[in-house]
Structure 1
């Protein structure tokens, strides 16, 4: 989004289990939004509870000028997928755990929302990943497309088995991995699964991706940082059980040995409404760096 658009309609996405404290806050915000003369939308199961206008996820993605997420990072990732190709600003209010994406506290919620409505805000343009599964002719010959804000993870379909995958980067042979799995993460996702695999924390504005093996058989297979302009091509060398591709922990696809995986920078960004807190303060708080 190159310019800030006037905000007339606000979508509220509440974590799926809808705990009472989330419903209470969502109801309060909905009433306040409507008192400002703005339209409030929410998903059909949540809308009648909080007093918002019901809208299917695709409709909410089309109509909302701003999306407010009440939940944790998982709820935020689902809302980002709901936006599709629209680069609608998303404001995350943390009702979950760590909350690297949902940075706003419940106490800050109304003031933060007021600033956004008044146009007093900045957005972080977070890159996404596009994962393409190219099926072999024997497997239908079609392409399946997936989108991720955090990461694309490839693991063995059979529990307890090792993944054997060959990676081509920027059309050049790069590395052969034998590991429990392989993670391709954006800077946003560098504080998620990749961090647990020993990957680096990457400043959000950098245009790079992290490639990190999960428990690699070869200890020299350390996490690497590559330009986000590189296309990664992956070939599974495996038995008939194949592998599993997982995007943001929420979408998945079975991968057969004859299929090819392509992972590249996505065409669209996610516009994350920036917290008033500096990144380093957020890292110190979330990671308990003192």
Structure 2
């Protein structure tokens, strides 16, 4: 047995076997706190000692959780929830300690001791109706007994709210409405009238990689639009380094690169980086290049923006160069289609001057991250690549139909019988996915397209998944086809065997494409100009309408 696996399992048991112990420590939040001695000094000493021990135990357990996280990175959502729960319990313990120390220091409350009746009120009032609370309030107000009221912090859920206690002696000034309002609406301040307020809450949004918690204002469920189609980029300091990528074997493109590189180095005093093959071919003075992967990693960190001279394929090549963060890309249309290249190379100096000196709009074009999991090494990614357009899984040279099983966030959603499946970004929605019948999608829509290729069913329509989803495509052991193939933006074709799978999710690092005007204008202009979207001759008006006008 692998010693590393044994160590991980031991760490797992060390962390999660303490759930009962944690629950027993937090049981005080479900009801009334433990009874304290009537003497102030005894209350302070005993409670402080107990709470300090609890805090020390919590800190030790948090350290074990961090150690466990370092040993085992599987199931991050469960780990994150565990850490969040422990932090909540630690905050509760600290709040309880502060409360009892403050109470012990108050001489007027040194002799106060909660009664059994008040214990019952504090423990059960949340399960009572408003009418029962009204009867309880009348009883307490009429007998003049001491009232202990429960409050919660603003914006906290009942389980994680800090308990605070306010003691008020019953008198003729105590009103029943005020007491009922304090019980039913613990976060609402006192005010005249019997106004009600619903319980506060929080929203927790989770994916398989991260969680996001926020408290909606005014106790209303509302969120901001997730699409970002008005993104402006502004330099805090002037850019220093630029990378120029050109389409190969094009003399016109080469001449343009020489003129742009000379203008940037002489007039703008920028460091110009080119590819090794271009540097060896042209030997341009003032330009730099890299000779190994380590040098490229250093340049990758320093490059401020990228200039591409070519078509859409050149932009795909730039995307493949950057595994993580991609600098803004200024694309000059010098290729065939130029769907992603809105700038004219004849005005290159003007566009470059505007990008260097001022702000500009960018289109954050999402990328896909595909990981191949082999049958015999299911926990070790064998192959991982990024794709700006699409990830394609097809039957390759097999003559028969391809059978695949599709999962979304671990849930099996369908079995595929087709020539293949396309998982595309909104940028790739106008590429191969469009040819297979997929919908054109605006680049700011946070989604993944799921488009079948020649499915053997009439009901298999293309779908859109949210960008938070994780899609897994499995080649089952029962498949008649012995193999399939996966490719990333038409390159890096890899063979899949029975039992292998491809896991696809949206990368956290998009390609920021510089817009000529804004994202909406550039995208619709490309759709109409390059794809002739909804282009037809205008309909002639009727002669009678012209005479009437």
Give the alignment's TM-score, normalised by structure 2. 0.50
Alignment of 1:174-213 (within 5 A): 174-213=413-452
In the other structure, the counterpart of 1:245 is 486
Q: 1:218 offset after TM fit, Å?
A: 1.1
CA contact (8 A) 1:166 1:176 kept: yes
Deviations 1:59-114 (A, max 9, x none): 54333211111111111111112122123111111221222222222224322222
CA RMSD in angstroms comes to: 2.1
Deviations 1:184-222 (A, max 9, x none): 001111111101111111011010110001111112211
CA contact (8 A) 1:94 1:102 kept: yes
| Structure with higher RCO (Cα < 8 A, 6+ apart) | 1
In structure 2, how many angstroms separate the alpha carbons of the residues matched to 1:85 and 1:119?
25
In structure 2, how many angstroms separate the alpha carbons of the residues matched to 1:85 and 1:63?
13
Q: 2:526 aligns with which of 282, 285, 288?
A: 282
Identify, as 1 or 2, the structure richer in strand. 1
Q: Is 2:260 the partner of 1:29? A: yes
Q: 2:357 aligns with which of 90, 93, 118?
A: 118
In the other structure, the counterpart of 2:10 is none
Q: Is 2:317 the partner of 1:78? A: yes
Q: Is 2:469 the partner of 1:256? A: no
In the other structure, the counterpart of 2:36 is none
Q: Which moved more, 1:188-197 or 1:167-176?
A: 167-176
In structure 2, how many angstroms separate the alpha carbons of the residues matched to 1:242 and 1:128?
26
* Unaligned 5+ runs, structure 1: none
Q: 1:154 offset after TM fit, Å?
A: 0.3
Q: 1:2 offset after TM fit, Å?
A: 7.8
Q: Is 2:497 the partner of 1:265? A: no
Q: Which moved more, 1:168-177 or 1:71-80?
A: 168-177
In the other structure, the counterpart of 2:56 is none
Q: 1:287 offset after TM fit, Å?
A: 0.9
Pair 1:18–1:119, CA change in 2 (3 A): farther
SS at the partner of 2:276?
A: coil
Alignment of 1:116-155 (within 5 A): 116-137=355-376, 142-143=380-381, 144-155=383-394
CA contact (8 A) 2:425 2:448 kept: yes
Q: Is 2:259 the partner of 1:14? A: no
Q: 1:232 aligns with which of 471, 479, 487?
A: 471
In structure 1, how many angstroms separate the alpha carbons of the residues matched to 2:418 and 2:234?
44
Task: Give aligned pairs, total.
Answer: 288
Give the alignment's TM-score, normalised by structure 1. 0.92
In the other structure, the counterpart of 1:54 is 289
Pair 1:257–1:91, CA change in 2 (3 A): same
CA contact (8 A) 2:402 2:481 kept: no
Q: 1:18 offset after TM fit, Å?
A: 2.8
In structure 2, how many angstroms separate the alpha carbons of the residues matched to 1:208 and 1:199?
13
In structure 2, how many angstroms separate the alpha carbons of the residues matched to 1:118 and 1:160?
57
Larger Rg: 2
CA contact (8 A) 1:166 1:235 kept: yes
In structure 2, how many angstroms separate the alpha carbons of the residues matched to 1:168 and 1:99?
35
Q: 1:173 offset after TM fit, Å?
A: 2.1
SS at the partner of 1:86?
A: coil
In structure 2, how many angstroms separate the alpha carbons of the residues matched to 1:287 and 1:63?
37
Q: 1:252 offset after TM fit, Å?
A: 2.4
CA contact (8 A) 1:184 1:211 kept: yes
* Unaligned 5+ runs, structure 2: 1-231, 536-549
CA contact (8 A) 2:471 2:503 kept: yes
In structure 1, how many angstroms separate the alpha carbons of the residues matched to 2:506 and 2:393?
17
In structure 2, how many angstroms separate the alpha carbons of the residues matched to 1:11 and 1:50?
16
CA contact (8 A) 2:447 2:466 kept: yes
Q: 1:41 aligns with which of 273, 294, 306?
A: 273
